[in-house]
Structure formats: C-alpha cells, structure tokens
Structure 1
Amino acid sequence: MVLIRTLYIEEGISHIVEIECDSAPGIPGIVFSGRAGKIIEESSIRVRQAIRNAYDISFTNKILINLIPSDIKKNTNLFDLPLAIAIIAAIHKISLKIEDILILGELSLSGQTKVNHSVIPHILRAKSFGFTSCLIPDEKIPLNLSIPISINKVKSLTDSWDLLINNLQNKNKIKNTIEKEKINENKNFYITKTTFKDSLISNNFLDSDVEYDFKDYKGGLLLKRALLISASGFHSLYLLGPSGTGKTLLSIMFKDILPPLLKKEQYELIDLYSQYNIPFDVNQSTRPYRNPHHSSTIISMIGGGTPLSIGEVSLAHHGVLVLDEINLFNKKVLESLREPFEEQKVTISRSKYKVTLPSSFILFLISNLCPCGNYGSLKRVCTCTEDQRNLFLSHISNALKDRIDITMTCSDESIKDNNDIDTKSMRNLVIKAFEKQFFRFFDSDIVFNGKIYKTEIKKYIHLDSQLENYLFEIMRKIGQSFRKVEKVIKVARTIADIEDHKEITKEDIIESLFFVTGFKY
C-alpha cells in the first residue's frame, strides 16, 4: 500500500489530497476513484509510458488509485510525478508513506519532468500545510523569494525515484543527494524594520530606463504634481480634457514613476498569476500596468466564468488600471468597479463556495469633455450642444466619481514650466515618500496612504483639531461628501510625505483640497 500526501489548488483555494495506490489482480491498467478529473485520467497514459521508458517495467496487474477527499474534483497535470512514484512503489510491493515531502510535477512520455509555473503557488503555501520540503521539476524560482522549506529540483522520474528511495530508507528523510536549492531557509518573506532598501525587488529604480521623460511634457506643473502625488500615495486619478492634450501619454509616463515592488508584493503577484497560469516575470520589479480595451465585459474586468478566469482588477493588483476613453466603456462595466476598487478585493460566487481575489490598484480614468473632443480646447471649436456634453460626462456615475482621489483637467496650451521637473527627479520624491509609508504601515497589510481603510484613518493619520475643523468647514461650504473628506486627509498625508513634513500642515490641506475637489483657497 502506498500513500503520498500532496497539495491541490483550485481557483485559489488549497486542498490537501492523499494519493492511495495499490496493485490487484486483473486486466493491466490504471483505474481512478475519488473524482479524478479529465486531465488526471488522461495523465494515466502519459505516466504509464513514462514509467516504461524510464524503467522498462511491464504492467501485469491492475493499478488502483484513490484520491482523498472524494468530494472535490481534482483536475491538474501536477499529479503526474507523485502518481508515477506511487505506481512504481505499488508494482514493486514497496510500502511507502510520504506525508511531509510535497511532490509535484508534469512528466513527458520519456520520463523527463516538465517545467510548469503553476507549481510556484503550491511551493509558497507548502509550509502552512505541514510540508518540510518539496520535490519539483527544475523550476526557475526567484531568488528573492524567501521560502522557509528546502526545494529539491529533479530533471526526470528516475532522479525522483532514486532520491526518494535511497534516502527514505535512511531515516525516511530527504538529504542533499542531488541538486538542491535552499532559499532563505527559516526566514519569513517580511523584512526587518531597518532594511527598506532590502525590502525592494530592485534598487535601480532611479536610474532605470523610461519610454518618455516628464521634462518633455509641456502641459503644466500642476498636472505633473498630480501624477507625482498619485504615484507616491497610490491615489486614484481622473484626467479630463480635449483630445490631443497628452492624457494617454501621461498614463504611459505615469507607470515609470510608480515605486518598485516590495518583495512581499511580488510574492503575492507570483502566487496570484501562477494560480491561473498567467506568465509573470519572476525578476520583474515594476508594478503591473493594465490598459484594457473599452469593449471589455464585466467578466473580463472583474473575473468569473467557467472555469474561473481572473479579471483586470486582479491583474492590476499592486499596480495601475488605466481606462482610456472611459465614455466608450459599458456603463455596467464601470459600475462593477466600485466595490472591488473600494474594498480592494473581489468576491466571486461559485455553486458551492466563494472565491476572493485581491484588487488593490490605482484606478486611472481618462476622458474627453464632449463627444467631438474639442470642448475646452484653445485651438479648436466644439460642435456639441450643452445637453450632449452633460450626457457625455454623465456616463461615469457620481458614485464612481466620488471614489476618485484626484481630478485634473488638461489643456492644449503649451506651458513652459519655470522648473521643468524630469522623471528622475519625480522618482526621487516618490521613493522618499514610499519609504516613509513603509515604516508607517510596517506592522499592517497597508502599503500606501491611498489604501488606508476608512476605519483606520485616525490610527495612521494625525490631524490636529484646528486643522480638522478648518477642513470640515470648507467641505461643508462646498457641499462635498464625507468620503471626499477622507480622501482630502489621505492625499494631504501623501503631500506631507513628499514635502518631508512630520505632521500635516495647513498648506498640505489647501493643496490637497485643490487636487481632490478643485477648491482654490
């Protein structure tokens, strides 16, 4: 009797699966029980041939395989390797019980292991399920990931079998007999409070290449300031203006000033992307940048379907989601963004359970001011009526507008700034503000000022009573919602971080009021 304990992830939910295997008299073949999916059933052909080519073994008995628990349908090709090992042991009547070694991998017909990036989230979760080591194909594991278990890489079924049998007979424990890679063993991926630079994926942020430089944009210093604040504190942004004023170009330049990923953020993204077999460069230090087409559906934006597909709001996690020409998007699609954006997660209901996916991102909206695109231009004449303009701008609801932190209008007037700030200078300000937030939120899941939950604003942001009264009085006069008050406070905190103010000043509040509400003091 053979028993191998392994891990199965379905739509983000982890399940422990026990593979029981035994041989019995009967027609040679492999018989599954325990709700094996089509992929696993098809793997029997592949596994059987891999065993024959690797060991020249003839199947003379029936092989019985039971997958526990039987109430969960298993559908993965990562069970090839544990199934092959279980079958070899059953054929040779070897009693084998493996419970603390996570064995996963796909096999070719020749018995070689195949690289499959979906193995990464299993490794990341292995320790929490009691595994002490992993046996996987020769996978590219990012060296900056701190995984507190040993990882054994194998290139073939024969390597795997030799490793297990030779060492399990020696106190039933894997030792360093073949290629083995330990990645920061017994260390957590959360870094110490004194090492901000060590917590970043890359320290080349200031000098990395850019597609376009902010010094070449002549649209005004206020627009650059708005983008600087947004990037520094992860604040949502809404750019309006006539066509041809560089709104789309600003969104492209914006991604170049976003701070690099923290290691713990990269950890989450690798886990998320790998679950759904979406390529993710394990050495990527830049934040996700998503710019979906205006024909996107609710499912493509939020996620869902059968099988479950991940939506743009989750693909943009820890990054930016740009919706250009927002008036061309389906109104229902735009309204579906409200909850995932505010709650920083999206919950998708399935028939028997719910799947929760992360969605903490910067929402970057871009729109013209009228259907013809000329309204607000100093060089072209708008041909739209006032009713057409009002109807055009009403496509985005007040409820969604109310959730936007910073709103700015672009002009087609070429403005020569007194102080042309370039991308490198903006990056320098962003990284300094990011470092302040890093220490402020070190003991929490929050990373940026713009993502503080409303119940925790007073915990992390101090505003003296005089400034608070001043703010509430202005907001009352201009008729703004309480949600906007919270946004003014969070944006003011980011401005204070950029200006190196320990506490929020009146000047920070005044500037924040302008960017959030348009109010000029």
Structure 2
Amino acid sequence: MGLAVLHSRGLSGMDAPPVTVEVHLANGLPNFNIVGLPEAEVKESKDRVRAALQNAHFEFPARRITVNLAPADLPKESGRFDLPIALGILAASGQVPSDKLKEYEFAGELALTGELRPIRGALAMTLKASRDGRAFVLPLPSAAEAALVKDATIYPARSLLEVCAHLTGQQALTLQQIETQVDIRSFPDFSEVKGQRHAKRALEIAAAGNHSLLMSGPPGTGKSMLAARFPGILPPMTDEEALESAAILSLTGGFKVECWKQRPYRAPHHTASGVALVGGGGTPRPGEISLAHNGVLFLDELTEFARPVLEVLREPLESGRIHISRAARQAEFPARFQLIAAMNPCPCGYLGHTNGRCRCTPDQVARYRGKISGPLLDRIDMRIEVPALSESELTAAADGEPSSDIQSRVVNARQRQLARQGQPNTILSPQEIERYCQLDAAGAALLKQAIGKLDLSPRSYHRILKVARTIADCAGKSDISSDHIAEAVQFRRFDKNQ
C-alpha cells in the first residue's frame, strides 16, 4: 500500500484555506474515488488526471485509489486540484519521490496532454501560502500574478512533466521573477471636455476626498465623457491597494499583470442584477462593487436600474464591505469603491434644457426621480447638474486643463488628508469629523442655516462637513471657512432646485 500527502489551497470568498490532498493506493479492484466534499469540476478531475498521466507516459496504477481533500467540511471547486492529485498518485506509486512534497503547495488544472492550464485566484492563494513558509508551484500563466506577493516563492511550470522533473532533481524549475514592465493604462484626458467648469471642479473635489458623486443633466451634455476621464485624475495606487484589488480580480480570473497598479474602472449596464453588483451565487463570487475596490464604479442611466438593485448599494457605500450569506456558505468581500453615477432629469431627459423640448408632467418627473430612494440619495456625498452647453461653448476649441495638472492638485490634497488623519475624508467617523472638521464662526452659522432650510439629515450634515474639509484641503487651508461650507452645500442641492 502507498500513501502520499500534498498541500494545496481552496477558495472561500477572499480567504484561501489550506487543503491537504491525501492519496492512498490499496489492493483491490481498480477504482478511483475522490472524497472531501468535491463539486462537479473536482469529481471530473479523475478523467483529466488519468489521461494526463497516460499521455505523459507515466503508469496509471490499476489499483484502488482514494483521494481525500481535507478538511472534509470545506467545499472544493474548480480544477486547481488536478496537479496535486496527479502528483499524489505518482508519489504513492513510487514514480516520483515524496520527500520534498512537504516543501511546496501545488495548484493547477491539467489538460489531457499533461499541460498545465491557468487557474483563478492564484494571487489570493499565494497571499496565504507565503505566510506558511512554503513555495508554490503554479501554471506558468498564473505564476506572474502570484509573484506580485512580496517574499513569495513561486515556481512556474508548463506541464506535469516539468513539475516531476523538478521533484526528481533532473531539471529544476526557475523561480518566477516579478514583472516590473507594465502598460500604463491611458484614460481619456479632461482637456478634451468643453465647458462644464462646475462639473470638472466637482470631480476634482470628489477625487481628492474619495467622495461619491451623482451627475444629472440632459442627454449629450458630457456626463459619461466626464466619468470616463475621472480615473485619470485619481492618486496613484499604493502597493497595498494594488495587491487588494488584484487579489479580488484574480478570484474571477480577470486580473492582468500588465494592469498592475491601475485603478479599476467598472461600468456595468443598467440591466445588471443585484447579485451582479454585490456578488453571490452558490459559490460566492465578488460582484461589480468588489471588482471596483480601490477604484471607480460608474453607473450610467442610474434611474434605469431596477430600484431593488440600487438598494443593495446602501450598506457597502457606508461600510466599504459586503457580506454575502447563502444557505451553505458565507463570504465577505471588500468594497471600498468610489461611486460616480449619471442620470437624466426627467423621463424624456430635457427638463430645464434651453430647447424647451420637455413635455413631462410634474407627476411623471416625480415618479422618475422616485426610482432612487431617499436613503440611497442621502448616502451620495455630492450631487451636481451638468447643463447643456451654449452655442459658443460647443463651437469653441477645447481648452480645458489636462488631467495631469488636475491629478497633481488631487495628490497634494490627498497627501494632506493622509498626513493629518491617515485616511481619505470620505471615511471619517463621526468622532473624527468632530476632531478634524472644525468650523469658524461664520461657517458654523451658515451650516446651521442650511440645516434648517434644506432639512438635512444627520448623515447629510456629516457628509457636508467631509466635503467642506476636502474643499479646504484642495485650497491648502487648515481651517474650514464659510466659503468652503457654502460650496459643499451647493453640491447637495440639485434635487431641491428642480
């Protein structure tokens, strides 16, 4: 009888719990069983492993083979266990030595030829594996992203034969090197946008303080154009932020090494479901809000989204995380995204337009705007109008500031926030607001007046203070004045004026 024990990793949300792959060969009628709560794709690995071993000219034992994936109560999914199962069979049958198996963790899907195919979640698994002090053997396409984890030891392999040659000492695998050459994604430039100075100013403030923003205006006024350029003025990502975002994208197989340190920009269609936005499924996967972690989530045509779909954004907008609970599984994903949304002012879109084309009744307009609930609207920091351009603005040459100039001011404002409180203004707690958002006498009087006239909720009050703090940071001021309060109040009034 033969027994081999190898190490691998499962996936449960953002976690990658260790999985011990135990392979036992016993006398009896030839049989191949996999136990340990395997799902369909894991059960199917029996056929892939058998064909891969035979095509790689190894002997497939005509014995009773039992593979146990421990712990038994953790569901196992995907084809990542193909490689450790195949190696376990070879080690248990004496075809490869088993003395070095404990030094490595293995993951990879096998083709019938014995070639290794990429797996999803390689980066998330490596984050955990590196803490346990073991090297990780991965398919070549997955190794590049896994090597982004600092101090991780990654061995890329093209095939089962290469892994076996490494274990037998015939030809060692080469350590994966960190890819330092990346293609810097070029977002469209703000200099191409004509007019809309107020909207550009609002977007600069939103970028500086990481605030959410809702734009309302007629069709063709540049809302989508502005949103597409917004990521280009955000501060560069830190190593920690980049690793968090890359790990989430790795769970869906959507991470590309050449996009390292580029802020995510997600723009789901308005037909997206609630599960598509927040994540879920039988095996919980991250949704758009998590895929936009540390980046931008742009929701165009906001009022065309189903109202129940929009309501799922309320909790993550506050907490920056999403908890997904299903009957058999629970998962938690980070979701610190920056919401940029756009909508028309009425069903036809031309309310307030100079062409006078709108014929919507007040009742129709109220129902249209009512698709966005008050609690959700209250959680959006800034709300602005994007009016139609005049004839002179439309025909004039574009002369706006380039994104690089705006970004430099945004970076300076963000650095002031990090030096003062260690985080962007938008996530200040009520206690921190009291400490860092002190007003002068004129500013306090103006804000008190705004509370009475606009009937502000406590949440709106706090958000105005956060935006005012960001405006002061953009101006290089340590104190919040009445001018900063006045501008912050204006960024919450478009729904009151229409």
TM bin, normalised by shorter chain, reads: 0.7 to 0.9
- The answer (yes or no) to whether the contact 1:147–1:183 under 8 Å persists in 2 is no
Alignment of 1:91 with 2:93, yes or no, is: yes
Q: For residue 115 of structure 1, what is the aligned residue in structure 2?
A: 118
- The answer (yes or no) to whether the contact 2:278–2:289 under 8 Å persists in 1 is yes
Q: For residue 82 of structure 2, what is the aligned residue in structure 1?
A: 80
Distance 1:47 1:441, change over 3 A: farther
1:96 & 1:29 partners in 2: Cα distance? 26
Question: What percent identity do the matched residue pairs reach?
Answer: 30
- The answer (yes or no) to whether the contact 1:142–1:283 under 8 Å persists in 2 is no
- The answer (yes or no) to whether the contact 1:137–1:154 under 8 Å persists in 2 is yes
Alignment of 1:243 with 2:219, yes or no, is: yes
- The answer (yes or no) to whether the contact 1:150–1:182 under 8 Å persists in 2 is no
Which is worse superposed, 495-504 or 140-149? 140-149
The one of 102, 125, 137 equivalent to 2:105 is 102
- The answer (yes or no) to whether the contact 1:18–1:67 under 8 Å persists in 2 is yes
**Gap regions ≥5 residues in structure 2:** none
Q: For residue 408 of structure 2, what is the aligned residue in structure 1?
A: 428
- The answer (yes or no) to whether the contact 1:215–1:423 under 8 Å persists in 2 is no
Q: For residue 379 of structure 2, what is the aligned residue in structure 1?
A: 403
Q: CA deviation at 1:267?
A: 0.8
Q: For residue 438 of structure 2, what is the aligned residue in structure 1?
A: 463
Alignment of 1:181 with 2:179, yes or no, is: no
Distance 1:95 1:212, change over 3 A: closer
Alignment of 1:217 with 2:194, yes or no, is: yes
Q: CA deviation at 1:436?
A: 3.0
1:149 & 1:246 partners in 2: Cα distance? 45
1:262 & 1:332 partners in 2: Cα distance? 35
Q: CA deviation at 1:310?
A: 2.8
1:39 & 1:85 partners in 2: Cα distance? 18
- The answer (yes or no) to whether the contact 2:82–2:108 under 8 Å persists in 1 is yes
1:209 & 1:92 partners in 2: Cα distance? 54
Deviations 1:313-337 (A, max 9, x none): 2222222222222222211112221
Q: For residue 36 of structure 1, what is the aligned residue in structure 2?
A: 38
- The answer (yes or no) to whether the contact 1:127–1:148 under 8 Å persists in 2 is yes
Q: For residue 287 of structure 1, what is the aligned residue in structure 2?
A: 263
The one of 325, 330, 338 equivalent to 2:306 is 330
1:472 & 1:383 partners in 2: Cα distance? 37
Structural mapping, 1:316-395, within 5 Å: 316-395=292-371
Deviations 1:240-299 (A, max 9, x none): 122332222222222332333322122112211222333445534432222222222222
Q: CA deviation at 1:23?
A: 1.5
Q: CA deviation at 1:144?
A: 8.3
Which is worse superposed, 29-38 or 486-495? 29-38
2:297 & 2:173 partners in 1: Cα distance? 44
Structural mapping, 1:122-201, within 5 Å: 122-128=125-131, 130-138=132-140, 139-142=142-145, 145-166=148-169, 177-181=172-176
- The answer (yes or no) to whether the contact 2:136–2:153 under 8 Å persists in 1 is yes
Which is worse superposed, 88-97 or 314-323? 88-97
Greater than 6 Å deviation, 4+ residue runs: 201-204
Distance 1:440 1:71, change over 3 A: same
Q: For residue 209 of structure 2, what is the aligned residue in structure 1?
A: 233
1:121 & 1:263 partners in 2: Cα distance? 15
- The answer (yes or no) to whether the contact 1:229–1:494 under 8 Å persists in 2 is yes
Provide the aligned length of Structure 1 versus Structure 2.
Answer: 487
Q: For residue 251 of structure 2, what is the aligned residue in structure 1?
A: 275
- The answer (yes or no) to whether the contact 2:21–2:68 under 8 Å persists in 1 is yes
Q: For residue 13 of structure 2, what is the aligned residue in structure 1?
A: 11
- Which SS does the other structure have where 2:244 is aligned? helix
**Gap regions ≥5 residues in structure 1:** 168-175, 185-197
- The answer (yes or no) to whether the contact 2:163–2:173 under 8 Å persists in 1 is no
Q: CA deviation at 1:427?
A: 1.9
Look up the equivalent residue of 2:366 and give its one-letter code. N
1:378 & 1:345 partners in 2: Cα distance? 43
Q: For residue 477 of structure 1, what is the aligned residue in structure 2?
A: 452
Q: CA deviation at 1:212?
A: 4.7
Look up the equivalent residue of 2:40 and give its one-letter code. K
